Amino acid sequence: MPPLSGLLKFAATQYTALPLVPTNELCAGKTFIITGANTGLGYEAAKHLVQCSSSRVILTARSADKGKAALSRIEKETGKTGIAEYWNLDLASYESIKKFAKEVQALDRVDAIIENAGVALTEFTTAEGLETSLTVNVTGTYFLAVLLLPKLKETAKRFGIQPRITIVGSGVAFIIPGKLEAVESDYLEEMSTEASGMGMRYPASKLLQFYIFRTLAEQNRVEQTGVIINLVNPGMCYSELNRNMPLKMWIMSQTMRLFLARSTEVGSRTLLHGAFAGEESHGKYFSECVDKTDQLPDWVNNVSGKAIQKRVWDSLVKQLNIAQPGCI
């Protein structure tokens, strides 16, 4: 597809009207967890869930100050107290994830977790032995999903419902065909060397995230677990995701956002759609609140793509079983 044609198609999708799913009836008595909810899409999604009188909405953030400030703002803006809570969670720390998961086990129920937290970094740093954005966007995200899956299964069986795990992905995952084919050894380890470069790190982390999502859904079918696992692409939205970009890239990003970005509130609707989507959404990729699995690039589904997906999964399993032996 020519670049101009692709840009026009992208622009058209950005102006698609998105539905607002939650209602008081859908949220009544339910408990939701949203990671990275102190700002941006996560914050707006949490606010909607509070407005719809959910029983409990748990906001997570790395910073207690920012998390508590977000909680205060939501209560002020919605006029509802006693629904939202702030819980600390740092996806760059496996100990933080384990502590959080243990606390979740004590809850009466969990109806959906929206894994929204993520980072877009341009400078090389490490966390838990991996490049930091890989730890947060990939291993930390799925370590949390794996540790919370038993609670979601328990909720499904106890209440006769289908809880959701909604992973917040990105369409930029599919702008880098061939990027992972060049990796010859363990994906997470090889991409965690400084020599691997940070130029396309965010799209690469989102592609890894997508491949793992697909395998996780395949290995945890709804009829076996009672849990729906889906992935949503919010599109280009106003958020703080580009806060770590170099000035030149930041200016370019802000210019594109000026003409094409969705508001943070509109973008949050894609997260909520995933958290309420039906069984047919399991293992599916959503963009504009529509199943677009069949529109994924051919290279994601061909023989090479499936082989890469298996290697990516094996790399994740290796890392998570180091973090907590036998967890997956």
pLDDT tens digits, one per residue of 75-97: 999 999 999 999 999 999 999 99
Q: What are phi and psi of 282, to 5 degrees?
A: -60, 125
Q: Could you tell me which residues are beta bridge partners of residue 167?
A: 115, 231
pLDDT at position 243: 64
**For the ranges 119-123, 240-244, 287-291, 306-310, which has the lowest average pLDDT?**
240-244
Catalytic residue among 43, 202, 238, 285: 202
Task: Give Cα 135 to chain centroid, integer Å.
Answer: 13
Average pLDDT over residues 227-235: 97
Concerning whether 292 is annotated as a catalytic residue, the answer is no
**For the ranges 67-71, 121-125, 280-284, which has the lowest average pLDDT?**
121-125
* pLDDT confidence bin for 237, thresholds 50/70/90: confident
Nearest to 173 by CA among 150, 143, 203, 194: 203
DSSP letter for 315, please.
H
Structure tokens at 3: 């670049």
Catalytic residue among 30, 151, 206, 284: 206
pLDDT at position 274: 98
- Residues 279, 230 contacting (CB under 8 angstroms): no
Per DSSP, the three-state class of 61 is strand
Position 1, amino acid: M
Concerning whether 9 is annotated as a catalytic residue, the answer is no
pLDDT at position 1: 43
pLDDT tens digits, one per residue of 115-153: 999 999 999 999 999 999 999 999 999 999 999 999 999
DSSP letter for 196, please.
G
- Residues 184, 154 contacting (CB under 8 angstroms): no
Mean residue pLDDT across the chain: 92
pLDDT at position 257: 67
Q: What number does CATH give the domain 22-236+263-322? A: 3.40.50.720
How far is it, in rounded angstroms, from Cα 138 to Cα 74? 28
How far is it, in rounded angstroms, from Cα 88 to Cα 37? 11
